[in-house]
Amino acid sequence: DIRALSRDYVSHSLVGASHSTRALDEVSLAVDGGEIVGIVGESGCGKSTLARLVAALDRPTSGHVLFDGDDLFSLRPKDLTRKRENFQMVFQDPFGSLDPRQKVERIVAEPLHVLARRPSRAEIREKVAEMLESVGLQAAHAGRYPHEFSGGQRQRIAIARALITEPKLVIADEAVSALDLSVQAQVLNLLMDLREKRGVSFLFITHNLAVVDCIADRVGVMYRGRLVETGPAHNVFERPFHPYTRVLAEAEPSIERFGRPTASERSPPPLGSAEAGGCTFRNRCPLAMPRCAAERPELRTIAPGRQAACHRAEDMGAEDIAGNGN
Ligand code: SF4
Ligand code: MG
C-alpha cells in the first residue's frame, strides 16, 4: 500500500534562497498479491520517483509505503534490509545495471547476500541455475560475462537477479523500453508467466501505454507528480475519465506504436505559481472551467473500480456515451 506519498526536492541558489519542487504529490495506490499495476505518464511526471520510494531506495518527504502491514520508512535499518528480499527493482538499462566485470552467476546471486540466512555455495549455484532457466536462459551460461549476451538476454539476467530472493513485488522502471519490439514482447510474456507461476506482483512503470495495456491489470496515470486516474487498464484507455488520459490515449492509439517516442514523452510546460491552487492540467485542458483554477481536483471514485481527479470526470463519461450513440 502506498499512502499519501510525497517527495520534495530542494535546490539552493547561490544567493542562499532555496526552492522546493514537489516531484510526487500525495500519491496513494495499493498493489494486491499477484497483481500487475502499470504507472504511465510523461517523463518528469514523478513515475521514477515513485518507483524509488516504493523500492525504499529513497525516503519520502511525507507519506508511507506499507509492505505486508509494515511501514518501510519506520523500520530499523536491519529490519528494512531483511524486508528487502520481498521487493526487488528492475531498471531500464540492462547495460548500466549489470557489472561488466562480473560473471552472470555472481550478478544473479548478488541479492542473496543480504538475506538473513546465508545460503551455501551449492545452494547459490542451484538457485542461480533455476533462475536463469525460469527466465529462458541456459544455466550453462552462468560463467559468461554480460557483454556476451544480447540486450534482451541482459534484461532477462536483470529479471533473474530480481527474482532470486523470491520477492512478492517487483518494481520495474521502464524495464522493456530499451529493447527491440520483438524482445519487448518476449520479456512481457515472461513477466506475465512469472506472475502466473509465482504469484509475483509488479509495479510496472513506463511511458508506453501499449505495454501497460498489454500486461497490466490496473493502471495509474500520473501527471506532474499526482495520480490523476486509476482503473482497469483497458477501460481507462478506452474510456478515460480524465482529459489528460485521453490526450495520452489519443497520442498512442494502437499496439503498432509500441516503443516509438510519442506525444506522451514530451515534457509539460513549466508550472506557473498562479496555478498552484487549481488543477495542474488546466492550461492544457480543453474542458477547463473557472472552478479548475480555484479548486484542486482530488482523486475520487467515478464508477466502480474507477477513480479520477477531475471536476468534470462525469462530463468526460457522458461525452463518450453520447459519442458512442452517434
Ligand atoms: Fe480539465 Fe478542470 Fe478536469 Fe483539470 S479539473 S482536468 S482543468 S476539467
Ligand atoms: Mg523515469
309 Cα to the center of ligand 1, angstroms: 8
pLDDT mean over 137-158: 91
Of all ligands present, the nearest one to the C-alpha of 284 is: 1
Question: Which of 183, 174, 182 lies closest to 153, judged by CA?
Answer: 183
Closest residue by Cα to residue 258 from 221, 313, 325, 207: 207
Three cell numbers at 97? 545495471
pLDDT (0 to 100) of residue 245: 95
Q: Please choose, from the candidates 17, 29, 78, 34, the residue with its C-alpha nearest in 3D space to the C-alpha of residue 53.
A: 29
Residues 317/302, Cβ–Cβ less than 8 Å: yes
254 contacts: CB under 8 Å, gap ≥ 6: 210
Question: Residue 226: which region, alpha, beta or left (left: phi > 0; alpha: psi -120 to 50)?
Answer: beta
- The pLDDT assigned to 13 comes to 62
Q: Which three cell numbers stand for residue 105?
A: 552467476
**pLDDT digit string, tens, across residues 37-47:** 999 998 888 99
What is the mean pLDDT of the segment spanning 258-279?
52
Rounded distance between C-alpha atoms, residue 132 and residue 124, angstroms: 12
Ligand 1 contacts CB of residue 75 (under 6 A):
no
| Buried/exposed 127-159: b ≥16 CB within 10 Å, e otherwise | bbbebbebbbbeeeebebebeebeebbbbbbbb
Between CA 70 and CA 199 the distance in angstroms is 20
* Binding site membership of 303 for ligand 1 (Cβ less than 6 Å): no
Average pLDDT for 204-216: 91
Best mean pLDDT range from 65-74, 111-120, 194-203, 301-310: 301-310
**CA–CA distance, 9 with 61 (Å, rounded to integer):** 9
Q: Pick the residue whose CA is nearest to atom 6 on ligand 1.
A: 310
Give the list of residues 6+ apart from residue 93 with CB closer than 8 angstroms, or none: 178
Q: For residue 3, what are the β-bridge partners?
A: 64
All three cell numbers of 122, joined, read 551449492
Residue 207 confidence (pLDDT) above 70:
yes
In whole angstroms, what is the distance from residue 178 CA to residue 316 CA?
Answer: 34
ipTM entry: 0.96
Q: What is the mean pLDDT of residues 72-78?
A: 90
Decide if pLDDT at 263 tops 90.
Answer: no
Residue 313: how many other CB atoms lie within 10 Å = 25
Position in ligand 1 atom list of the atom nearest CA 297: 5
What are the DSSP calls for 146-197, one per residue? GGGS-HHHHHHHHHHHHHTT--SEEEEESTTTTS-HHHHHHHHHHHHHHHHH
Q: How far is the CA of 43 from the centre of ligand 2 (A)?
A: 6
Nearest CA to ligand 1 atom 7: 282
Domains in the chain, please, with CATH? 2-10+28-267 (3.40.50.300)
Here the cell at position 275 is 496555478
Amino acid at 199: G
Say yes or no: CB of residue 246 within 6 Å of ligand 1.
Answer: no
Beta strands across the sheet bearing 18-29: 18-29, 2-12, 62-67, 70-71
Give the model's pLDDT for residue 290: 94
Question: Among 51-60, 72-81, 103-112, 245-254, whose mean pLDDT is lowest?
Answer: 245-254
Burial degree of 269 (CB within 10 A; 0-12, 13-18, 19+): exposed
- What pLDDT score was predicted for residue 58? 87
What global pTM score does this model have? 0.86
Residue 66 corresponds to which cell in the numbers above?
A: 506499507
Mean pLDDT of the chain: 84
* 322 vs 58, residue with greater confidence: 58
119 burial (CB, 10 Å; 0-12 / 13-18 / 19+) is middle
Separation of CA 213 and ligand 1 centre (Å) = 24
Give 273's pLDDT tier (boundaries 50, 70, 90).
very low
Residues 6+ apart with CB under 8 A from 233: 38, 212, 213, 216, 217, 218, 219
Name the residue among 124, 184, 110, 195 with its Cα closest to residue 150.
184
Distance CA 237, CA 249 (A): 6
Cβ of 312 closer than 6 Å to ligand 1, yes or no, is yes
**Position with higher pLDDT, 271 vs 309:** 309
